[in-house]
């Protein structure tokens, strides 16, 4: 995964297994904090992160045309901001990544799937608030 340094703009490659950890920019040595926003991913990046992450991963399967998905987006962003370093939050556009959505039996959106150690452990269709999403991630971390 490529992370851009906020200070110098350098692009830093961060392995999926270390994405939730604080790193350092290779160019200016400034801290690179864990992502505090949802990461929009394609199928390749999804697989890399979900299979390599050392923390639980919440995936929001969504589409641009979906009204409920747009309503859920601020809650997803709030969740990502609240769990930085303890979990990761990904967004998968089901129109662009239809095969990935099919693999996880996504029939309605928004649809949230929690992964731990590369495996799906919980799934929920429909809009929920950030507290519920954070509770899913906390449960996953404890299991």
User: Considering 8, 25, 28, 69, which one is annotated as catalytic?
Assistant: 69
Question: Quick check: is 66 catalytic?
Answer: yes
Strand partners, 3: 12
CB 120 within 8 A of CB 59: no
Residues 6+ apart with CB under 8 A from 79: 58, 89, 130, 133, 134, 137
Question: Quick check: is 5 catalytic?
Answer: no
**Max Cα distance, the chain (Å):** 45
Residues 6+ apart with CB under 8 A from 103: none
Q: Which residues are catalytic?
A: 66, 69
């Amino acid at each position: 995964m490529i992370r851009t340094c906020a200070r110098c703009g350098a692009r830093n490659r961060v392995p999926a297994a270390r994405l939730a950890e604080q790193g350092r920019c290779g160019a200016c040595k400034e801290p690179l904090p864990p992502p505090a926003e949802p990461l929009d991913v394609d199928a390749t990046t999804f697989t890399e992160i979900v299979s390599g992450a050392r923390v639980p991963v919440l995936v929001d399967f969504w589409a641009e045309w979906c009204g409920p998905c747009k309503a859920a987006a601020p809650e997803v962003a709030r969740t990502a901001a609240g769990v930085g370093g303890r979990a990761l939050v990904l967004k998968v556009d089901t129109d662009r990544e239809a095969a990935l959505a099919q693999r996880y039996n996504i029939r309605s959106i928004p649809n949230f799937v929690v992964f731990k150690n590369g495996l799906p452990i919980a799934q929920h269709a429909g809009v929920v608030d950030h507290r519920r999403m954070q509770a899913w991630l906390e449960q996953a971390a404890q299991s």
